Every structure is written in structure tokens, then in C-alpha cells.
Amino acid sequence: MMAEQINCGCDFNEALIKNVKINLSAVTRRAAEIASRRAVKKQWQAAWELRAISCIDLTTLAGDDTPSNVSRLCFKAACPLSKELMNLLKWQKEKVLTTAAVCVYPNQVKAAREALAKAGHLEIPIASVATGFPCGQTPLSSRLAEIRAAVEDGASEIDIVINRTYALTGNWKGVYDEVKLMKEACGKAHMKTILATGELGSLSNIYKASMVCMMAGADFIKTSTGKEGVNATFVVALVMIRAIRDFNNITKQKIGFKPAGGIRTAKDACVWLSMMKEELGEEYTSNKFFRFGASALLADIERQLYHFATGCYPALIDMPMG
């Protein structure tokens, strides 16, 4: 389920981020067009919702996380829809439906691995946030050690945060050097680089951060930690997606994209998937190159699929605990 390709990165090239200009009115207009579009209906809507489930990094990043609620998350990732609903949808039993990954704090990686083993789904990747998430305001040595510890415990994907101090002061070579070291610390694990776009100050900085992180070896670029005041928006996404396209044109390497924070409804998920298809192509509607960072999204998708299958919305008793 993980992306097969690893971004080899490239040498730092300041020319790629020099004189960056963003046409704000054009980006805003395109974002408004995407946000206002009508969702698909009936079986087409259900198909997109099922696709969305397979792209979710099912997440718990709370201060009161325990092995028990991490285990619950993992079993939900392994079986995101109830058997009754799967039967109503006439799902083919030989086809396995799981979320793309589970995402936890580093000290819960072992618990996640044990739970996935019990669920019989060790193939589901364990993603771990690291590097002083969400702020990244810890010494570099500590951030690198945190990555190595998470990988050693069984994480196959690492969501790192960039140094916003460097980004906001224009030290892009510093951002590149740190992210490159983090990539090396990940070893064979895939690295998703969180830009924390709500704290970068401008769309130009978001484009530069996207490009620098891809140069340093990021396999995915991710909008947000989910802890900022402003998280995933279509305006920000379009800037990051165009950076992905530009990087691909230059290096021929395909980089994934992960919006996170504030994506809670099935309708939102369908709109995000349609945008990815239009901007980057069909390949970017699969979990190989696209992920949602979400915890509440799955519950609404399940609710909408129940309505599609039965014609009415479920009572609480009809919905398994998420």
C-alpha cells in the first residue's frame, strides 16, 4: 500500500526558488471554483467515497493516547466498514478494503504494530509523526533520534515537520540540509514532510518550502500538522500541487501530496480527489501518491455509504464505534 518509489532528491538548487511569483487572483479563483462544485451522486459518489477510505491515514495524535485506543484505531483501519454495510454494498469478499495507514506518535508505534498483527493486517503501514511534532522546536539531534527510534519500533512512514524559523527567515539551504538529514535517518521508511502552511506567512514561502523539501528527498509533501489555526485549504493545495508538477517536469520524479486538518466530510473528500485528478491525473487519486490526514472523515463517509445502500441515514446503533 505504500508508494513504491523513493524520492532520490537532488542537489540544492537556489534557482528553482528564486523570483517565485504567485498569481494570487488566479489561484483564488481556481480554488473557489473547486470549492463550489457540485458533488457526484449515487453510485459514482459511493465509488469515490470508497476510494477516499483507501487514501486515509487514520490518525490519533492526542495527549491522552494509550495502547488501547491505538489498538482500536488499528482495528478500525483494518476493517473501516462494518460487515453488514459491506454486505449491503455487495462488496466482493476477495477485495480487501483498509485505510492507507495508521498515524500515531512515536511512543505508540509498538502498540500499533502489535494491534495490526492481531488484526491480521501487518501490511497496513504505520506512519509516525516525529521531529518534535507539531512545532519542531527541539534540537536537531533529538529530532533525528526520534525518527530513528520510530523506524526501529516498526514505523514504515515518517511525517516530519520542517524548521519554520529557517523558512520564515529565508534560510532555505538550512531547511534543505535538515530535511536531507531527516531523510537519511528515515532509512527505508518513506518521508512525508509537513510544511505547516498556516505558519509560513505567504504563498511564495509555501511554494519554496515545497520545492526545497522535494529537493531534499521528501516522498510526500503535507499541508499541515492539524494543530495550526489554518490547515488544508484549496488555495494552499494548488500552490503545492503546482510545485509537485514543476518538480516532476525537472526531475521526472513523482512526489505525493497529503492535505491534513479540517477535512471531515465525505463531500470534502470527493472534491479533493476530483481536484487531484484534474490537476495531476488519475494516478494521484490512489494512496500511492495521495493521502488524507484525518480522524473524523471516516465516520462521515461510513454514514453516507449507509445512506446510499439503504436510502436512510443510520441511527447510532447502526454505526460501529469509530
- Catalytic positions are 222, 258
What count of other Cβ atoms lies within 10 Å of the Cβ of residue 4? 6
The one-letter code for the residue type at 145 is: A
Secondary structure tally for the chain: helices H, strands E: 12, 8
Dihedral of alpha carbons 170, 172, 178, 182, sign: positive
- Cell triple for 92: 466482493
The residue to which cell 454514514 is assigned: 303
Half-sphere exposure of 135 (CA within 13 A, CB side): 3
Output b/e per residue, 170-187; b: 16+ Cβ within 10 A: eebeebbbbbbbbbebbe
Side-chain half-sphere exposure of 152, counting CA atoms within 13 A: 8
Q: Are 210 and 180 in contact (CB under 8 A)?
A: no
Q: What is the rounded distance in angstroms from the CA atom of residue 115 to the CA atom of residue 131? A: 24
Buried-state track 108-126, b at ≥16 Cβ within 10 A, e below 16: bbbbbbebbeebebeebbb
Is residue 118 within 8 Å of 135, Cβ to Cβ? no
DSSP, res 193: E
The rounded distance, in Å, linking the Cα atoms of 167 and 225 is 16
